[in-house]
Structure 1
Amino acid sequence: MGDNSASHRSVGFLLDLMNTGEAERIRRRIGLPVHARVDSAGDRAQLISSWTWRAVPSSVLLWVLEEDDPDLNAVVWRHSHADDSMRRAILRGVPFGPGRTARVPVDSVLRDSEEPPVPKGYAREGLVGALRQATAMAPARQAASMVLERADWRTVAEADRERPLPGYARWALVVRPDCPPELRTQFGAHRKFTNRVRRAGVLDGPAEYAATHGPASDTLHVLSLGHLLFPARVHDAEDALRPLVRDHLGDREEAWAVLAQLVGGFHGTVPELVATAGAIA
């Protein structure tokens, strides 16, 4: 593995959950490079750019947007999995952080970017009208992409209480990672909706991501950038994984050496990786 490899960052993220002295000793014994600080803007940009092409659950993009940081918003804009609603919200300065109302400045690199086209149905019928007219998934997604502000979500909820929205519209809204939980509850607990939400990558938080998503190397690489991308949320993942690391790996150098060998080709989740390395050692 090269010094800047994703595998090194993945193992390093788990080691950082240990006592500092133990972690540094294990690093030396298994040949892991010294944990490098990310001090310069160039180093930060290089690390973050390595993330923009990775497949991630849609909720991960939302956690980044919740930082309400113009620079990070520009990163989400470039991400291959960002959708029209996210890009539209970024250019309009919509805040995502809980309780925030101030508009978010648009990063200078995006000021000449064009907003995704406004759907014809929305221009003709307005938000609620476009959602009610959606008789297929494509127009439903287009209409749902215009739900940006918290007030828009309230409008949708009120319209659905007055007269239930069509199934396609509900589907397009419920798989949005920023769909308010109370609106999902209002739409109902139908098993099909639950499965669609799960397939869309909507998660309760980073702890669920850390525990359930694989391959482990991809999940750990994203989490290793959490202090740059979603610092307000990454601690939830760390708290979820710390007991597993302590119980299965602890300060056993041989267990960490096995984990370093397994991580690059392991297809299971992070808890499965940690337990497997501990069992083999």
Structure 2
Amino acid sequence: MRENSPSGAAVGFLLGLIDSEDAERIRRRIGLPEPAGEESPEDRGSTDLWSWTRTAVPTSVLLWVLEEDDPELNQWVWRHVSADTAMRRAIARGVPFGPAPKGPLTVATSVRREDDPPVPENFTRFGLVGALREGTSMRAARAAASMVLERSDWRTVTEADRDRPLPGYARWALSIRPDCPPELRARFGTHRKFTHRVEEAGVLDGPADYATAWGPASHVLKVLSMGRLLFPARVGDAEAALRPLVRDHLGGREDAWAVLAQLVDTFHGNAVELVVTAGAIA
């Protein structure tokens, strides 16, 4: 088992949640090498990060990366298969996403603004709110919603909806934006079917939700294994959600970890189910 393989990264992430001496012993038992030291985005750009950009993830995961306000990381989000038009527009314009923005970000030279999709015609004719009100299809509404970039844009949309509720297509197109302010999304809908559809669209409550409820486990854990590089401010929430489970069901038991290493590649459930299953089998 290699550390940089999907299964190796998945097991390695979980081993990081137990006592370091136990983890070292178990690594030797299952043939997993010691983890590499901390690397910069430039160091990992030709390996893990390129692979990451080709792997679909919920859009909220990309938002967690953007919240770091790191131009080097932003260029990888810009290339990602799951990045939507709005994200690419924002990255190309240096829009910050962090909790305490200090102004426009530097834009990496690899991000070319001319590669942006064209500005929607309705936006040019009617402005932001007008384009959202004119959207008579989901496609038109999503095109208009892709022009909501700055925090000031979200305030404008909130005020417009408060003045006169936006049409259904516009509300849905805005709701499935991972950066839609929670209070605005709550105005658009709170019933169970609505929130379920929003989550299916890739909008998550946070990293703990991703770590415990999404699958397959090998995929999710591989992404989380890169969390210290991609979204260091957020990955701790995922670790905290899984740590008690890992310690209770696997702990320092070599047999349980050996079973987990055998299961992880073909297991279709989430990480919680993987850990519980491995512990029960052992």
Partner of 2:169, secondary structure, is: helix
CA distance in 1, matches of 2:162, 2:70: 35
CA distance in 1, matches of 2:145, 2:113: 25
Deviation at 1:196?
Answer: 2.1
CA distance in 2, matches of 1:72, 1:39: 13
CA distance in 1, matches of 2:21, 2:181: 43
Deviation at 1:40?
Answer: 6.1
Deviation at 1:41?
Answer: 5.5
Partner of 1:94, secondary structure, is: coil
CA deviation map 1:13-38 (0-9, x unaligned)? 00011111111011111211122224
CA deviation map 1:240-269 (0-9, x unaligned)? 000000000010000000000000000000
Q: Relative to 1, partners in 2 of residues 1:85 and 1:41: Cα closer, same or farther, differing over 3 Å?
A: closer
CA distance in 2, matches of 1:41, 1:133: 42
Equivalent residue, structure 1, for 2:83: 82
Partner of 1:110, secondary structure, is: coil
Equivalent residue, structure 1, for 2:28: 28
* Residue identity matched to 1:219: V
CA distance in 2, matches of 1:172, 1:140: 6
* Residue identity matched to 1:269: N
Partner of 1:122, secondary structure, is: helix
Runs of 4+ deviating beyond 6 Å = none
Query: Is 1:215 matched with 2:216?
Result: yes
Structure 2 unmatched ranges of 5 or more: none
Equivalent residue, structure 2, for 1:200: 201
* Residue identity matched to 1:175: I
Matches within 5 A, 1:1-281: 1-39=1-39, 43-45=43-45, 46-111=47-112, 113-281=114-282
CA deviation map 1:211-245 (0-9, x unaligned)? 00000000000000001110110000000000000
* Residue identity matched to 1:19: D
> 1:174 touches 1:193 (CA, 8 Å); kept in 2?
no
Deviation at 1:192?
Answer: 4.0
Structure 1 unmatched ranges of 5 or more: none
> 1:38 touches 1:44 (CA, 8 Å); kept in 2?
no
CA distance in 2, matches of 1:42, 1:105: 16
* Residue identity matched to 1:18: I
TM-score, normalising length: structure 1: 0.97
TM-score, normalising length: structure 2: 0.96
Partner of 2:148, secondary structure, is: coil
* Residue identity matched to 1:57: P
CA deviation map 1:65-103 (0-9, x unaligned)? 111111111000100111110000001110000121411
> 2:92 touches 2:113 (CA, 8 Å); kept in 1?
no
**Matched-pair identity in %:** 68
> 1:87 touches 1:116 (CA, 8 Å); kept in 2?
no
Q: Relative to 1, partners in 2 of residues 1:12 and 1:2: Cα closer, same or farther, differing over 3 Å?
A: closer
Deviation at 1:191?
Answer: 3.8
**Farther off after superposition, 269-278 or 91-100:** 91-100
Deviation at 1:275?
Answer: 0.2
* Residue identity matched to 2:118: P
Partner of 1:50, secondary structure, is: helix
**Farther off after superposition, 107-116 or 265-274:** 107-116
Partner of 1:196, secondary structure, is: helix
* Residue identity matched to 2:150: E
> 1:248 touches 1:278 (CA, 8 Å); kept in 2?
yes
CA distance in 2, matches of 1:57, 1:41: 21
> 1:171 touches 1:193 (CA, 8 Å); kept in 2?
no
* Residue identity matched to 2:4: N
Aligned CA RMSD, in angstroms, stands at 1.3
* Residue identity matched to 1:257: A
